[in-house]
Amino acid sequence: MTAALKAHNQRAEFAERVRAANYMEYWEADYRTDKPHTGVVPVVWSWKTMKELMLESAQVIGINEAERRGLILINPGLGGKPFLTNTMFADVQILSPGEAAPAHRHTTSASRFFLEGEGGYTTVEGELCTMGPGDLVINPSWAWHDHGNNGKEEITYLNILDVPLVAGLGCTFYDHDYYKENDTSKTIQSIRKPRDRSQNLYGNGGIMPKTVPHTGKPYSPQLVYKYQVVRDALDRLQAFEPDPYDGHIIEYVNPETGGPVMPTMSFTMQLLKGGQKTQTHRHTSSTIYCVAEGDGYTQVDDVRLEWHKNDVFVVPTWAWHSHINSTPGKPAVLFGVTDAPTVQKLALYREQAQLPNGDVKWIAQP
């Protein structure tokens, strides 16, 4: 037996004993990477296919059986896990006229971006929040919530939650037993607050009601953010210089603190003028986008993601990307959800820009 073969066999026998004792050799571990490797890949979920499948699902299963009639958006790079990124989960849901999804609550933070239809609502802790296309409704952790459709046609909406993040921390709890709240219904909340109360209280930027005590909670007391209010703000922003990497962009904020509306996720809306192309950058936060208006594409590393109204797409963490509005004379508007607040709280946020000559410039680093 040669010395090399003897050494090989000795190492293999040692490795077998190490693993049997629930250890791993440090020199065999592959976690020491020079950049993040999450497995998440850039991909687009088209609204055309999404809507066709959602309409079909309404014929396949009833809301009472499904509890939530939704289709989960699965990133093909995550090996079949029901996640869109390594920190965020997304699904699209449909409700037919007169249907209601029963109340439940969970430790994961949730959001609802309304896509299509009229007459939709979400009730959060006794407040009925009306929803129209482009509206955002937030669903704080451990808040009872149910959904319904009082309209005459199907409604569809996109849900984005921090499920994989909370699951990775071992903190996921769900509660479906609304009956123990002793409400008039065992499954649907009574309306105990004025309709759209939080929107009426906090929905005007720069103004805070003095008659309402601060909640002091880590999420926004404003549950509804109306698209028209946000869209008007974007129109006013066009008189100013855009961000080179994101165009004219605003962040939805907690009116009590000015910070993100939720502790783990930030919500934005950005406008690209007709034909505009943003500069290329990358950052250690992943972003889910939904197209509110317009047509264009996002270049993510060497992948071109073509998008149209209501399409959903994802930009993975630390991926070079730029946005292009492909229609001259017509704006494109993108709704975005990012895990940046979590990354920033852990002092792990980094951002780089790629200059036209190919050089790389640091924008932010710990």
- pLDDT of 1 reads 72
Residue 366 has pLDDT above 90, yes or no: no
Residue 127 has pLDDT above 90, yes or no: yes
Q: Where are the domains of the chain?
A: 43-364
Taking residues 263-278, report their average pLDDT.
98
Q: Which two tokens stand for residue 30?
A: 């592959």
Residue 339 has pLDDT above 80, yes or no: yes
Beta 248-251 vs 266-272: how paired, if at all? antiparallel
- pLDDT of 3 reads 87
Residue-wise pLDDT for 289-300, tens only, equals: 999 999 999 999
* Protein fold of 43-364: Jelly Rolls (2.60.120)
- pLDDT of 169 reads 97
Q: Containing H/E element for 121? A: strand 120-124
Residue 56 has pLDDT above 80, yes or no: yes
- pLDDT of 225 reads 97
- Read off φ and ψ for residue 98, nearest 5 degrees: 85, -5
Task: Tell me which DSSP letter residue 28 carries.
Answer: G
User: Closest by alpha carbon to 70, among 135, 153, 161?
Assistant: 161
Beta 248-251 vs 287-293: how paired, if at all? unpaired
Radius of gyration of the chain (CA): 23
Taking residues 112-131, report their average pLDDT.
97
Taking residues 219-231, report their average pLDDT.
97
Taking residues 144-171, report their average pLDDT.
97
Residue-wise pLDDT for 233-258, tens only, equals: 999 999 999 999 999 999 999 999 99
As a whole number of angstroms, the distance between CA 366 and CA 354 comes to 19
